[in-house]
Amino acid sequence: MRMYSGILLPWRHITLHGRSLLPKRYSSGGRTVRTPFMQAIKKGYGERTAIVDNQRTHTYNDIISWSMVLSRHILSNTKRDEVLTRRGSKVILNGERVAFLCPNDASYTITQWGVWMSGGMAVPLCKSHPESELEYIIQDSQSSLVITTKELAQKILPIVERHMINYMIIDNQALSLAEGNNVADIKSQVELQEDPMQQKADFIEDNLAIMTFNHHTDDLINMNILTEKWKQIRWKNRGAMLVYTSGTTGQPKGVQVTFGALQAQIQMMISAWDWTSRDVILHVLPLHHVHGVVNVLACPLWSGATCVMLPDFDAEKVWHMLLEDHIPRVNLFMAVPTVYAKLLEFYQHKYTTPKVQAFIKATLKEKIRLMVSGSAALPQPIMDEWEQTTGHRLLERYGMTELGMALTNPLSGERIPGAVGNPFPTVEVQIVSPTNQIIARGNSFHSEVVPGFEGQPGELQVKGPAVFKEYWNKPQETQESFTEDGWFRTGDTACLDEGVFRILGRSSVDIIKSGGYKISALDVERHLLSHPMIAEVVVVGLPDITWGQRVTAIVTLKPGQRLILGELRDWGRDKLPSYQMPTELKVIEEIPRNAMGKVNKKQLVSQLFGIE
């Protein structure tokens, strides 16, 4: 039977009178690459508000202080990889994986930064995933330590017990006890040299309770030794995160993102979307995917901005946060199409009077500077209705776990429905035919089609500093995912049409080959969503002995509606070419989606039609 030892960790030890906790200068060799926590220290964000969650307001100093405390305990509890240790540091970790499951609050960033401070590679887990999927990721990543909070511990304990993995349980409720206005500015401490961890008399009473298995309190590293080590590390090619793909087209793969790639992902969005320290973004997304982890959390923290985190998506709370003049005042929002659809649904039931609707539109036009949609194709009816409701035309962009972001509609300029704009800064893209003929190429300055290939689709391929390093322990898949000259094969079919890129879908599931035509399932879905009776739709290709594949629509209907195939085809005669018209219709009650609003089409076809 396992024994648990509870210890109390001093929280804001950095408020103490002491000497340098952090080196003044960092060197990574060549172009400077910093970790997000080093960026916050270097830029002196200190007493600015970093995160507002359901417990309290946290300054950058708060986050860094807690992370530094946690990092020392991560070091004492993480099983070392002998091979990595032989050729790497004996002081800090050498990229050992540390999986963590935290709620949508400051404990997430504290844990993530704590892992990075200790030299580990962060493996974010999703709180909505079933135990079997969590277990797969923990095992596949070969995590040496798992960190979670008291409220989520029961999802983790059975797994770590089965596999004898070290773990830590932090009491994130202790965050609510901390008083941010007593935290000293870390940047002002850089000239100090006494070890504050030795100054017992000055410890503050606020504590973070940590429960671990087989905890070693005697092995805690001296803080000065730890911070001195940071300036010696070449961060650029070190693994920052192991983020798992959504698994909608196959088994999830661990995508290794280096600190160099992470910094490139963050900086391209800051440049393209004009992030500043004055921004305040509302966060409602899961924290296991690049959309929630990088776009909506890492970008504001890199910029010295503020992230307001809701524990879960709640349409009423989101509307409240968008409309009310809280301090800090939200001026940015990013979400998936499903979230926007649910917000519109709530709006239609709650805000029914013209006076209230006019107030909402005027307020959001004045107070919100940017609203972004991603992670799944944005249906045009949602885009149009959102603009009519809020005055904002959603900015649609395109990215992947392996890339971060790649393509974006303009911050200022026309945003075309069904298009994802042009490349972000530092990103190069090309569209290639099945015979390796280059159809189109582009970068953030210019995109063009090769003469004679106008309008033709092909595979989208991407290059740039933000591209991932490798699939974890999958050398064959990694090699197959890149061309000989270094282009990443996205597996998505795209075209360059009238100067903007359009994503036609995953080549494996969204391109339907029927009667000699290549049909974009996403295009058909966009058209069908304008049908007055259809609430949601998924278009797939089913095997057909005559046509190769037949276009099949799987739909959910609006309340009280009925629809048969003949009626759908009659409605679509002047809206879709005959070869794109569905020849089969399946009406179901609910379309299953993952945490990011994506549909696993292969799984759905198997469930509904018994076709593997």
When pLDDT is cut at 50, 70 and 90, the band that residue 401 belongs to is: very high
d(CA 440, CA 419): 15
Q: CA angle, corner 530, sides to 524 and 534, nearest 5?
A: 90
d(CA 496, CA 455): 6
In one-letter notation, the amino acid at residue 438 is I
d(CA 237, CA 608): 45
Give every strand in the sheet of 57-59, ordered side by side: 57-59, 49-52, 306-309, 280-283, 332-335, 370-373, 395-400, 404-408, 422-423
Mean pLDDT along residues 546-553? 87
- pLDDT value for 250: 63
d(CA 145, CA 136): 15
Please determine, for residue 270, whether its predicted confidence score (pLDDT) is greater than 80: yes
Looking at residue 33, the DSSP 8-state letter turns out to be: -
Name which of 479, 95, 38 is nearest 257 in CA terms.
95
When pLDDT is cut at 50, 70 and 90, the band that residue 83 belongs to is: confident
Please determine, for residue 15, whether its predicted confidence score (pLDDT) is greater than 50: no
Sequence-ordered strand ranges (E) for 28-185: 49-52, 57-59, 97-101, 121-124, 145-149, 166-170
pTM of the model: 0.82
- Summarize pLDDT for 60-78 with one digit per residue, the tens: 999 998 999 899 889 888 8
Cβ burial 118-149 (10 Å sphere, 16+ → b, else e): bbbbbbbbbbebeeeebbbbbebbbbbbbbbb
DSSP-H helix ranges across 239-371: 259-273, 290, 299-303, 315-323, 337-350, 354-367
Quick one: angle between helices 106-117 and 60-77, nearest 10? 50
DSSP letters for 357-387: HHHHHHHHHHH--EEEE-SS---HHHHHHHH
When pLDDT is cut at 50, 70 and 90, the band that residue 218 belongs to is: low
- pLDDT value for 51: 97
Q: Phi-psi category of 266—alpha, beta or left, where left has phi over 0 and alpha has psi -120 to 50? A: alpha
- pLDDT value for 177: 53
Q: Is 268 exposed, middle or buried (0-12, 13-18, 19+ CB in 10 A)?
A: buried
Q: Say whether 389 sits in a helix, a strand or coil.
A: helix
- pLDDT value for 219: 65
Domains along the sequence of the chain with CATH: 4-41+48-242 (3.40.50.980), 268-506 (3.40.50.12780), 511-609 (3.30.300.30)
Cβ burial 413-432 (10 Å sphere, 16+ → b, else e): eebbebbbbbbbbbbebbbb
Q: Are 406 and 400 in contact (CB under 8 A)?
A: yes
Mean pLDDT along residues 526-537? 90
Q: Which residue has the tokens 């037949």?
A: 550
Please determine, for residue 19, whether its predicted confidence score (pLDDT) is greater than 70: no
When pLDDT is cut at 50, 70 and 90, the band that residue 465 belongs to is: very high
d(CA 67, CA 72): 9
d(CA 37, CA 48): 14
Name which of 414, 422, 351 is nearest 383 in CA terms.
414
Mean pLDDT along residues 277-294? 95
- pLDDT value for 176: 58
Q: Are 462 and 428 in contact (CB under 8 A)?
A: yes
Q: Are 460 and 490 in contact (CB under 8 A)?
A: yes
What is the token pair recorded at 53? Answer: 């969650």
Q: What are phi and psi of 420, to 5 degrees?
A: -120, 25
DSSP-H helix ranges across 376-487: 380-390, 475-480
Q: Are 189 and 21 in contact (CB under 8 A)?
A: yes
Please determine, for residue 208, whether its predicted confidence score (pLDDT) is greater than 60: no
- pLDDT value for 452: 87
Please determine, for residue 205, whether its predicted confidence score (pLDDT) is greater than 80: no
- Cα 398 versus chain centre, distance: 12
For residue 263, give every residue at least 6 positions away whose Cβ sits within 8 Å of its Cβ, in sequence order, or none.
Answer: 33, 34
Q: How far is CA 307 from CA 98, 104, 277, 302, 332, in A?
A: 24, 11, 11, 11, 10
For residue 608, give every residue at least 6 positions away whose Cβ sits within 8 Å of its Cβ, in sequence order, or none.
Answer: 554, 586, 588
Name which of 37, 49, 105 is nearest 279 in CA terms.
49
Mean pLDDT along residues 376-383? 88
d(CA 568, CA 584): 10
d(CA 356, CA 363): 10
CB atoms near residue 339 (< 10 Å):
19
Q: Phi-psi category of 29—alpha, beta or left, where left has phi over 0 and alpha has psi -120 to 50? A: left
Please determine, for residue 372, whether its predicted confidence score (pLDDT) is greater than 50: yes
d(CA 121, CA 242): 7
In one-letter notation, the amino acid at residue 247 is G
Most confident of 84-88, 406-410, 608-612: 406-410
The more confidently predicted of residues 121 and 2 is 121
Name which of 107, 199, 184, 206 is nearest 150 in CA terms.
107
CB atoms near residue 12 (< 10 Å):
25
- Cα 278 versus chain centre, distance: 22
Mean pLDDT along residues 533-545? 89
What sign has the CA pseudo-torsion 303, 308, 314, 318?
Answer: negative
